Structure 1
Amino acid sequence: MMIITAKVTLISSALFLSLSVNAAQKVWNGTALGFEAPQPGLLGDMLGIRPLLNEQGFNWNLGWLSQLAWNAGGGYDHDSHMAYIDQVALTFNQDLERWTGIPDARIEGNIVNRNHNDNLTTKRLQDRRVNFNDLSQESWGGQSITRLGWLTFARSFDERRLTWRIGMMNKVQTFDQIIPCDFQLLSQCGGKSANSMTWNNWNVHTWGTTFEYKLTPELTLKTGVMEQNPQASSRSHAWSWSTKGSKGILLPVELEARTSMNGLPGAYNFGVLFTNAPQTDLYSGKSGGAGAVDPEGYREYNRTWFMYAGFNQQITRHKEDANRGMSVATSLSVADQRSNYMHYTAAAQMRYRGLFDARPEDWLGLGVTYIAMGSHYARGQAYQNQLQGIDDYGNARYSPVPGHSVNADLYYRFWLSSWVELQPDLQYWHRPGGLKETQDAWVVGLKTVVTF
């Protein structure tokens, strides 16, 4: 599998490098790929306050999101449950160039309030005795809490080809941003870089600095140095400036192309992530054999790798409207399965914006994900059963042995106005948590987005 994956990523890299060289020199428009421009919010111009702030270089977006998920059938626990979570997110940007003359100088910030720690996946869909590998509500974050997502300073150099960012940051500001997070199923939300388990999505910050350099107008090289801190998602770190708990550094390198093929926009990326933070093997012991019985404990090592790649390409245009049409996307991740319980994940998606002439702003989306659990994690689970002499899955002390799972998500998003959208979805879970013993599950969901 590793050889096949390497060939796929090399071919993908060569493809988007070729595309970038031959791309049309017009403005890149990713609307049909899921990257829509901000729309007027519920509060409008706030009696002239918003335009006044914009004139001073302060731009902001305030949004509310909720996600409902109901287990319609199957799963580990068949008892009916309607799980609900929501969040309020403020993202802002203060332009400093007008005051300092520094090219593209700005302060960037993000604050997120999450509520209702209600997770349908662990409550009903899968066996809690194994780690979850997907979520029916992608915005579930494990806590009801208000957190600082990021607070950074950024500026440009070399005639705006080089962008430098520094501060308390999150990876989503720079890396793996070619696929939007529109599905409610986590494995269909954006790219797969979060599967490394060494950094976090969205509302968790760590210290770092990143660089983006435009090799050509379409091709960008990204890199940086970021703190690797397992405690970053803890409650005590929500507003902390401290590096307490840091274990090492992260070194990401990504190549991204935003180009056009046959006049239609596309985005392609390939990234590698290294860390020197100590990692614990999920099976092997320091003296050989199983770590569960090794007198020296589990094996540890200081170098871990992770790879991710993907593309998002518009393939049809609805009549003469560039903002309507079909796009297809694929994302992939491969991890070091010695310490990561998810070995590889592959997701494929189709989106259509404006399928019906009467509703040109609506979206239709369909996605399927294949998740393969790591062999070291599975061997560790099996060895625990061997030690205890248990082979009965129904025994509470049994450690289930995961394999692979396949999940799918179908949604239709109703654009009701510029400030509110409703998105019902239907999810199918095959072997939840990677367990063949768990019945396949159906989930009905509803996502609501309100922009202020």
Structure 2
Amino acid sequence: MLGFEAPAGDLFSSRLGLRQALQAHGFEYQLAHVIQTAYNAKGGYNTDKKAEYIDQFSLTFSQSLAALTGMPNAAIEGNIVNRNHDNNLTSSRLQDLRVGFNDLAQESWGGQSITRLGWLNFRNSWLDGRLQWRIGLMNKVQDFDQIIPCDFQMLSLCGGKSADSGTWYNWNVHYWGSTVQYRLTPELTLLAGVLEQNSQAPTRGHAWSVSTDGSRGLLLPLEAEWRTRRFGLPGIYSLGLLYTNAKQADLYLGQSGGPGALDPGGYRHYRDTWFLYTGFNQQLNRHADNANRGLSLAWSLGLADQRSNKSRYSTSLALRYRGLFDARPNDWLALGVAKMQGSANFRRSQNFLNQQGGVEDHSDPRYAPLPESSVNAELYYRFKATPWLELQPLIQYWGRPGGIAQTSDAWVVGLKTAINF
């Protein structure tokens, strides 16, 4: 519902019958290819015009174990992602890399051209599906913060905000763990887990590794998900808290404790950190002849511990309309706006570096820019060209990219293409 409708068809089913043959043996899959292009039409940190292109193949699957184990709901779940063309417009043109980036014009960019294991784990459920358990190589997207779809090409508008914590990673990175879901009532579900907090998980050497090398502690997520009907229409609301006991580096260089409390990199460390995330996805109207056509409103918020997170908070609001035109009932029109507020500790850290280096001129390469807030937006129209092909032209606005006042506002045009095999 609300952006998570199953694909109406796919290339292999319609032409080869492959899906039906595999389903007979308990194997379900989704194989997709996504292409994301972006061109800086105006503004940004580097105003030289450039088009960047990335693409991604993803295979998500489950194999029923009912026949082998006698457990009717047991399954093995997996995900493999192949990303290509290690380029993105945000790094090359839009944002000042002296402060990294706080958003992406192409959300599928993952920092590498690489094939990775996203997850591989065992799942089972009991009590008529009310209790569900997973264990193995996990990823947060299997259970947590999954009420808002990832349809926009801009990262800040893609799904919820829990990945902004910086302590766990999105769907093509795996880490050991176990999660449980329990549906208390038909509307209310509680989700909890114990996951490995591993800063090495996104590296190339960990792409297929089952090692715990690099583990720094434990992640303890807890989330409540409420599915209800308001105004007679479906809605889903969630509230989550992510806690980790791993050592954290305080972003404010030279903060209290004196030189003896600082590591060789200049950071004071402390134990424990937290991240709060919440949001909703509510349908506002529907067409009488098709429950999936209509307008929905989604909002999300992430609130961080700004001692160790470069962000204080990030929030977004988006409107989506499915089937605006009777002749195009499966097309989407969407508009989203996101705001990112920088951490006060990170700003103080940057200012401290400038004072230590005696640098005041923003154009000096040694200058550490002072990030504040930024506001980004995206408008797209998605054409359902065939049951298996979607074309999504889009335009993005970047207000104060990276939160740096000296970086000019930018306009980006792009095209997202999705093929379901």
What TM-score, normalized by structure 1, do the two folds share?
0.90
Q: Deviations over 1:395-447 (max 9, x none)?
A: 11111000000000000000001000000110000000000100000000100
Corresponding residue for 2:313? 344
Amino acid at match of 2:161: K
SS at 1:393 equivalent: coil
Corresponding residue to 1:312 among 281, 285, 298: 281
CA–CA distance in 1 between the matches of 2:130 and 2:262?
A: 55
SS at 1:187 equivalent: helix
Corresponding residue for 1:256? 225
The unaligned stretches of length 5 or more in structure 2 are none
Change (3 A) 1:429 1:53: same
User: Is the CA contact 2:283–2:296 (under 8 Å) kept in the aligned structure 1?
Assistant: yes
**Aligned-pair CA distance for 1:291:** 9.6
Q: Quick check: 47-56 or 339-348, which moved more?
A: 47-56
Amino acid at match of 1:38: P
Q: Quick check: 291-300 or 65-74, which moved more?
A: 291-300
Corresponding residue for 2:125? 156
SS at 2:172 equivalent: coil
SS at 2:251 equivalent: strand
Corresponding residue for 2:108? 139
Q: Deviations over 1:206-258 (max 9, x none)?
A: 00000000011121000010000000000000000100000000000000012
Question: Is residue 381 from structure 1 mapped to residue 381 from structure 2 by the alignment?
Answer: no
Corresponding residue for 2:52? 83
**Aligned-pair CA distance for 1:156:** 1.0
Corresponding residue to 1:38 among 7, 12, 19: 7
Question: Is residue 122 from structure 1 mapped to residue 91 from structure 2 by the alignment?
Answer: yes
Change (3 A) 1:386 1:240: same
Corresponding residue for 1:244? 213
Q: Deviations over 1:325-346 (max 9, x none)?
A: 0000000000000000011001
Change (3 A) 1:292 1:77: farther
Corresponding residue for 2:19? 50
**Aligned-pair CA distance for 1:295:** 8.6
Superposed, 1:161-180 pairs within 5 Å as 161-180=130-149
User: Is the CA contact 2:262–2:268 (under 8 Å) kept in the aligned structure 1?
Assistant: no
**Aligned-pair CA distance for 1:371:** 0.4
Corresponding residue for 1:425? 394
- Aligned residue pairs total 421
Corresponding residue for 1:368? 337
CA–CA distance in 1 between the matches of 2:266 and 2:349?
A: 13
Change (3 A) 1:422 1:295: closer
Corresponding residue to 1:411 among 377, 380, 385: 380
Corresponding residue for 1:208? 177
User: Is the CA contact 2:261–2:268 (under 8 Å) kept in the aligned structure 1?
Assistant: no
SS at 2:268 equivalent: strand
Identical columns (%) = 61
**Aligned-pair CA distance for 1:298:** 2.3
User: Is the CA contact 1:45–1:51 (under 8 Å) kept in the aligned structure 2?
Assistant: no
CA–CA distance in 2 between the matches of 1:370 and 1:325?
A: 26
Corresponding residue for 2:70? 101
Amino acid at match of 1:67: Q
Question: Is residue 323 from structure 1 mapped to residue 311 from structure 2 by the alignment?
Answer: no
CA–CA distance in 2 between the matches of 1:124 and 1:47?
A: 43
CA–CA distance in 2 between the matches of 1:341 and 1:381?
A: 11
CA–CA distance in 2 between the matches of 1:365 and 1:45?
A: 29
**Aligned-pair CA distance for 1:319:** 3.4
User: Is the CA contact 2:107–2:158 (under 8 Å) kept in the aligned structure 1?
Assistant: yes
CA–CA distance in 1 between the matches of 2:223 and 2:185?
A: 15
User: Is the CA contact 1:305–1:336 (under 8 Å) kept in the aligned structure 2?
Assistant: yes
**Aligned-pair CA distance for 1:138:** 0.4
**Aligned-pair CA distance for 1:286:** 6.4
CA–CA distance in 2 between the matches of 1:293 and 1:350?
A: 46
Q: Quick check: 78-87 or 155-164, which moved more?
A: 155-164
User: Is the CA contact 2:12–2:18 (under 8 Å) kept in the aligned structure 1?
Assistant: no
Q: Deviations over 1:108-150 (max 9, x none)?
A: 0000000001110010001111120000000000000000000
What TM-score, normalized by structure 2, do the two folds share?
0.97
The unaligned stretches of length 5 or more in structure 1 are 1-29
Question: Is residue 302 from structure 1 mapped to residue 271 from structure 2 by the alignment?
Answer: yes
CA–CA distance in 1 between the matches of 2:263 and 2:208?
A: 40
**Aligned-pair CA distance for 1:354:** 0.4
CA–CA distance in 2 between the matches of 1:294 and 1:98?
A: 55
User: Is the CA contact 2:81–2:117 (under 8 Å) kept in the aligned structure 1?
Assistant: yes
**Aligned-pair CA distance for 1:302:** 1.4
Corresponding residue for 1:398? 367
Superposed, 1:189-200 pairs within 5 Å as 189-200=158-169
**Aligned-pair CA distance for 1:50:** 2.8
Change (3 A) 1:291 1:126: farther
User: Is the CA contact 2:262–2:269 (under 8 Å) kept in the aligned structure 1?
Assistant: no
Change (3 A) 1:291 1:356: farther
Question: Is residue 273 from structure 1 mapped to residue 242 from structure 2 by the alignment?
Answer: yes
Corresponding residue for 2:199? 230
Amino acid at match of 2:51: M
**Aligned-pair CA distance for 1:45:** 5.5
Corresponding residue for 1:218? 187
CA–CA distance in 2 between the matches of 1:292 and 1:441?
A: 41
CA–CA distance in 2 between the matches of 1:250 and 1:220?
A: 20
CA–CA distance in 1 between the matches of 2:140 and 2:316?
A: 20
Corresponding residue for 1:24? none
Change (3 A) 1:50 1:277: same
Question: Is residue 64 from structure 1 mapped to residue 8 from structure 2 by the alignment?
Answer: no
Corresponding residue for 2:415? 446
Change (3 A) 1:34 1:294: closer
CA–CA distance in 1 between the matches of 2:352 and 2:19?
A: 61
**Aligned-pair CA distance for 1:296:** 9.9
Amino acid at match of 1:308: Y
Amino acid at match of 2:213: K
How well do the aligned residues superpose, as a CA RMSD in angstroms? 1.7
